[in-house]
Amino acid sequence: MKEIKSIGVLTSGGDAPGMNAAIRAVTRSAIFQGWRVFGIYRGWEGLINGDIKEFTSSSVSNTIQRGGTILKTARSDEFRTPEGRKKAYDNMIKFGIDALVVIGGNGSLAGAQALAREYDVPVIGLPGTIDNDLYGTDSTIGYDTALNTIVECVDRIRDTATSHDRIFFVEVMGRDAGFLAQNSAIASGAEAAIIPEEQTNIDQLAQFIGRGFRKSKNSSIVIVSESKKDGGAMHYAERVRNEYPQYDVRVTILGHLQRGGTPTAYDRILASRLGVAAIEALNEGQRNVMIGVKNDQIVYVPISKAIKLDKPVDKELIDCLAILSI
């Protein structure tokens, strides 16, 4: 196996709070190891176009508290093609990059896996996504911050809702995973969460309406996972208007508000630990693994498993919300 002397680090896909803490940790850990570090701007697109700059320790100074990503991020259709990946690999050779640390979600790690398979490149993935949907890790970088942002927003919505007999549908991100919706519903005292994991089992709206509203409650908040399949919160609000016209309905879609902001202490610590562990993994000869955390311990998860296997929402959380929302 070729000795590693320099690494590249990139962020890809949607940004997540804590990515800068991860970049900082990867950079400084690699320099501590005696390796050179190259920051690759705008994700896979930047690797294709040679948008690459050598980093020093000072390059990541004063970044741990910043949201977003100093390396920028972009989607890359070209990288999905063999020709695009060939350009990316050629630039790794040109800049003398021996291994990559890729910070991102499912799509980003799938790209890393493709490059590793085609060119035998050592790649380490870090789970950077607010959706918390990567298998093998209890939490992903950015999830805790996004969760806290949602709870703060729902608290404010509740303030304005208390004098109206209304149902408020609040749509949150999560793609095909209900972690943000389920846990923000518990944390904000919402009456229900409508999540993808439960859609095949029951009519979640009918179940919620069927409970009725307590007389002591003069508003109800339902957290809904965004969904391309059924249209998310707007779909359920329309159903209420058609099927239960006695209720007044409002919709709030939080959108990209959830992605921004200063990362929480938890996300900063998680990102820092994972970044250090990424360099340790490369130094041990590991490749094509995602660094995760299980029961507060660092774990190595094959990237193939991290992106292919479903991460289930704990049924206990679903039961917890049902009990507390009576």
| Residues known to be catalytic | 131
Residue pair 40/88 in contact (Cβ under 8 Å)? The answer is no
Residue pair 16/129 in contact (Cβ under 8 Å)? The answer is yes
Q: Supply φ then ψ for residue 8, to 5 degrees.
A: -115, 145
Take residue 323 and report the two structure tokens written for it: 């009990």
Q: Where are the alpha helices (DSSP H) in the chain?
A: 19-32, 43-49, 82-95, 106-119, 143-161, 179-188, 204-211, 232-243, 265-283, 303-308, 315-324
Residue 255 in 3-state DSSP?
helix
CA dihedral for 75, 77, 78, 82, sign (positive or negative) = positive
Take residue 217 and report the two structure tokens written for it: 């409650």
Phi-psi region of 144 (alpha: psi -120 to 50; beta: other; left: phi over 0): alpha
Residue pair 54/40 in contact (Cβ under 8 Å)? The answer is no
Say how far apart CA 142 and CA 244 lie, in whole Å.
Answer: 37
Say how far apart CA 162 and CA 54 lie, in whole Å.
Answer: 54
Q: How many CB atoms lie within 10 A of CB 286?
A: 16
Phi-psi region of 113 (alpha: psi -120 to 50; beta: other; left: phi over 0): alpha
Q: How far apart are the first and last CA of the chain?
A: 60
Distance of CA 3 to the CA centre of its chain: 32
Beta strands 6-11; 36-40: pairing state:
parallel
